[in-house]
Amino acid sequence: MNPQPECHLIRRWISQLEDQELPPERVAILESHLDHCSGCRNWYKEFQHGMDALDLGVVKVSGEIDRLLTGTLIPSKLSPPGESEEIARAADRAAPRLAALAAGVLVLISIVAWAVFPGFRWDALWRGSATVGNMSLASLQDDFLIEIDGEERDLSQDGATGMIEIGRTVRCRSGAGEIGDADGRVITISAGTYLTLTGESSVTLIDGSARFFVPPGKGGLVVVTEEVTTRVLGTTFEVQRWASRHRSEVRVIEGSVAVVRGERIPLPLRVGERVEVTRQGLMFHALRSEGETALPRASLGWPVEGQTDGNEAPPAIESNRPPEREERSREGNLPLDLPVNQRRGADPDGED
């Protein structure tokens, strides 16, 4: 039953033949062997079946990776080549001198502080207030691992802390952590979150999900994704983005937010509500809580005729579905599919 030694060689040749790597002089030998060896003929048949199956699996994987990569790398947004390397090199050169200088200043401050305030504690300097232009970073799980502008930062001990400058891009590889500022705004990130701290009051979410807590009276926060902008004053909400699908979701946990796409009228969202926006402007809007009546709401596709201030709800339009409809989206929400983009094709973002 076992194949002859010659058969082993022939089967390797079959594999090479499949790859068009078998020298022509061996093809004739192979054919001649197959003519009289039913074992190898069967093996060849199975081999071809396996190759067909393999192609099917490979195509699936390859298609998925392609889909994930499409639109995620935008070379036009990259900084000039080599620039960051030069900056890094310059920073490396300057680092020892800066460190020495900083240490000297700290020693001086501590001598003065101890002389003037005997009860002085170092951590009072930064406790509750991050340095201007910086935000604090804290681990919530012991496997918290992030990258800041591509550089790995290990905060893998529960409670580990650090600082991050505004303008940096953060990618959370594992675990969960918090980014906070002196005003008490907190961004909770977890594995998959990819965002840029674009300003003191603005964040761009590139991919993944993040939860934002904004205390009232602290200047608010703007969270931008390619599909939608969310403006808040004092609230807790989550934004999730699937970069590969050009799709964003905003979910309000406390208070209310205003979401807007391009120059359209802001749409207020209240507690428990969420909105999904795609790059094409399609939008779904639903209530989360079980038992609540899903009220039809206006869409972001409403044409702009005199911009409003965002607190004013746009006119309601009828939903095509009755609110008590049994169908549920994921998480058990009552979906309200609204035909929203009235001006499809004229993307007001001008980024598409």
Partner 1 sequence: MNLEIAPLVSAARQGDREAFTKLVELHQKVAGSIAYGILNDTHLAADAVQDAFVKAWRSLDGLREDGRFSAWFLQIVRTRSLDLLRHRRRKAPETAQLDDALDADRGPGPSEVLEQKERGEKIRKILAELPAEYREVLMLKHDQDRSYREIARILGTTVKGVESKLFRARGALAEKLKRLDGSSGGDH
Residues found near partner 1 in the complex (CB under 8 A): 11-12, 15-16, 19, 21, 46-47, 49-51, 53-62, 64-66, 68-69, 72-73, 75-76, 78-85, 143, 145, 150, 173-174, 190-192, 208-209, 240, 242, 244-245, 329-330
Decide if 164 contacts 178 (C-beta within 8 A).
no
H or E element at residue 25? helix 24-36
CA angle 238, 275, 277 (to 5 degrees): 105
Nearest to partner 1 of 143, 183 (CB atom): 143
Nearest CB to partner 1, comparing residues 196 and 201: 196
Cα–Cα distances in Å, from 304 out to 260, 297, 299, 310? 12, 16, 12, 12
What's the residue count for the chain?
352
- Minimum distance, C-beta of residue 77 to partner 1, in the bound complex (Å): 9
H or E, element range at 51: helix 38-69
Q: Pick the closer one to partner 1 by CB: 258 or 286.
A: 286
Q: Supply the minimum distance, in Å, between the C-beta of residue 109 and partner 1.
A: 37
User: Which residue, 81 or 291, has its beta carbon nearer to partner 1?
Assistant: 81
Which residues on neighbouring strands pair with residue 154, listed in sequence order?
A: 145
Compute the least distance from the CB of residue 286 to partner 1, in Å: 14
The greatest distance separating any two alpha carbons of the chain, rounded to the nearest whole angstrom, comes to 101
- In angstroms, give the least distance from the CB of 310 to partner 1: 28
Cβ of residue 79: shortest distance to partner 1, in angstroms? 8
Using alpha carbons only, what angle is made at residue 346 by residues 345 and 349, rounded to the nearest 5 degrees? 120
- Alpha helix locations (H) across 70-209? 83-116
Q: Calculate the alpha carbon distances from 88 to 83, 103, 135, 151, 243 in Å.
A: 8, 21, 21, 11, 29
Q: What's the sign of the alpha-carbon dihedral 208, 211, 216, 217? A: negative
Tell me the CA end-to-end span of the chain in Å, nearest whole number.
63
* Closest CB to partner 1 among residues 208, 268: 208
User: Could you tell me the smallest distance in angstroms from the CB atom of residue 331 to partner 1?
Assistant: 9
| CA Rg value for the chain | 29
Q: Looking at beta carbons only, is 171 or 185 nearer to partner 1?
A: 171
Task: Output the smallest distance, CB 319 to partner 1, in A.
Answer: 19
Specify the residue, 72 or 157, whose C-beta has the smaller distance to partner 1.
72
